[in-house]
A and B are shown apart, each in its own frame.
Chain A
C-alpha cells in the first residue's frame, strides 16, 4: 500500500494535491460525470446507426463491430450505407477516411498533453479520441489538475462514452431487426444526415462545398462502383477550399 502511494507521489507533478487514491478516483468520476450529458446527446445517433444496420440487412455482428473498430458515428453510418449498397472496398475505406480526417486534428491537438507517456497509454487514449471525448479532453487538460489526474479525467470520460456508444448501437440493431418494414425506419439515416448538414454548414465556404457536393453526387450517382459519394466529397471539398483561399 505504502509502495503504491509512494509511486503515485513520485508521478505526481503538483505536491499540493497529493496523488492519493481518493483524488485519483475523484478525477476519474469527474470525467465520467462530464461525459454523461454528451453521451445522452449522441445516444439517439447510436440508435439510428444500429437500426440502420438491421434495416439495410447488413450482418449484425459486422455492422455492430464498426462501433468499436471505426468508433466514429458519421463514418459508421456512411460505411453501413455503402456496404449495404455493395460499394467497393476502396470506396468504403476512402469515404470513412475522409469523414474521419478531423480525428487527425484532434490527435495533433492532444499530442502535447500525452508527450512522454507510455506507448500503451497513447494507443488507448488516441483510440478513444472522438468528438465528445475531445471536447471533455480539452477540459481535462485545462491546467486545473495535476497531469496524472488529467489523464484519469480524460480516461473516465472516454471510457463511459465507449461503453455507452457500443450499448446503444447494440440496442438499435436488436430493435431494428424486430420492427415492421412499413415503419420505413431506414429513412432515419438520410434524415439524420440532412440535419447534420444544415446544422454544421455555417460558413460560406462550407455552404458552397455542400452545394457543389450535392449537385456532383446527383450526377455521379450514375457512375458505376458506387463512386457517387466519394466524387461528391472530393468536388465539394475542392470548391470549399477554393472559396477559403479566395477569401483569405
Chain B
C-alpha cells in the first residue's frame, strides 16, 4: 500500500472516532470499558512508541543506540524534575550531541 493510501485510511479512522459519537449519541453513554481505559491510552501508547523508536536505533549499532538511550534517560529525569517539556528535550539533545562526540573521539 502506498504511503498516501495509509495516510488517508489513518485519517478516515480518526474521523470516525471523532464523528460517530456526535452523530449517534444524544447522551453520554459510551461503553464503560472505553471510559475506564481512555485516560490510560496516552501514556501507554507513547511508552510503546518511544521504546520501539529507541529499539529501532539498535540496528545502527552501539554507536547509534547508546547516545540515544542516555539522552532518553536524561530527558525522562529532567521531565520528572522540572515538569517542563522544553527543558527535557533540550537536556536530551545536549546528551545526544555529547554522546555522539564521545563515540567519535573514542573510535
Q: Taking beta carbons and an 8 Å cutoff, which residues of A are in contact with B? A: 44, 58-59, 62, 65-66, 69-72, 74-75, 77-79, 81, 83, 85, 89, 92-93, 95-112, 114-115, 122-123, 125-127, 129, 184, 187-201, 203, 205-206, 209-210, 213-214, 216-218, 221, 226, 228-233, 236-237, 240-241, 244
Contact = CB atoms under 8 A, between A and B. Distances in A.
8 contacts: A75-B14, A81-B49, A104-B30, A123-B19, A193-B46, A199-B79, A206-B39, A236-B40
B105 interface: no
A141 to B, nearest CB: 13
B11 A66 contact: yes
B18 A102 contact: no
Contact of A210 (B10, B20, B44, B88): B44
Given A114-B22, A209-B43, A232-B48, A105 B30 contact: yes
Q: Which 10 pairs of residues, A with B, have the shortest CB-CB distance?
A: A69-B11, A232-B48, A191-B92, A236-B44, A221-B55, A217-B51, A107-B21, A193-B50, A201-B43, A108-B21
Given A115-B26, A190-B68, 9 more contacts: A62-B4, A74-B42, A99-B45, A197-B43, A200-B42, A213-B47, A217-B48, A221-B56, A237-B40
Contacts of A102: 38-39, 41-42
A195 B18 contact: no
A197 B80 CA distance: 10
Counting chain A CB atoms within 10 Å of each CB, which of B6, B29, B35, B83 scores highest?
A: B6
B36 interface: yes
A96 B44 CA distance: 13
B97 to A, nearest CB: 7
B93 A244 contact: no
Contacts of B23: 122, 126
B75 A70 contact: no
Nearest to B51: A217
A89 B18 contact: no
Contacts of B4: 62, 65
Interface string B88-107: 11001100110010000000
